[in-house]
Amino acid sequence: MNTTLTMNYLDKKAKLSSLWVFVFLNMIFRDLHELGRAGFLEEMMTGVVNGVQITEWLMLVGGLMIAIPLLMIPLTQFLDFKANRLTNLFIGALQIVSVFGNNMAPDLDDIFFAVIELVALLLIIRLAWCWTEDAA
């Protein structure tokens, strides 16, 4: 067994997993940060936030958007090379679309969190794209 190749493979998985943890925490803290916005809690109590009616389906979509990066943390550790690479590429791109879709009328803190998340997602895509089977 080639120890160097094994360490590079594990290192790639650890890097990807760590980046998914970072993306997940960034999403959570962005949502928590929004609670400090004046009038936000009052909007939540009415069921309309930023002009959008909060429905059960919208809550389900929001839950899925949070669950996907959270699910990527263990998947990155347990999937084989090919599935891992493809999943990270696809979900990374999907999350980038999600970032733009969620920031239709951003304020400064939304832009701040979106930029950080986009950089991490682009790094995930780059690591997965450059990951060769020889390294795996």
- State the Cα torsion 19-71-24-94 to the nearest 10°: 80
Place of tokens 């879709």: 101
Residue range 123-134, pLDDT digits in tens? 999 999 999 876
- Count CA atoms within 13 Å of residue 1 on its CB side: 6
> Treating both helix axes as pointing N-terminal to C-terminal, what angle do 56-78 and 3-34 enclose, rounded to 10 degrees?
160
Residue range 17-68, pLDDT digits in tens? 999 999 999 999 988 888 888 888 888 889 888 778 889 998 999 899 999 9
> Which tokens hold the place of 135?
């390294």
Asked if residue 1 has pLDDT above 60, the reply is no
Asked if residue 9 has pLDDT above 60, the reply is no
Domain ranges within the chain, ordered by starting residue: 3-130
What is the structure's pLDDT at 18? 95
Share of the chain above pLDDT 90, in %: 56
Q: What is the pLDDT of the chain when averaged over all its residues? A: 88
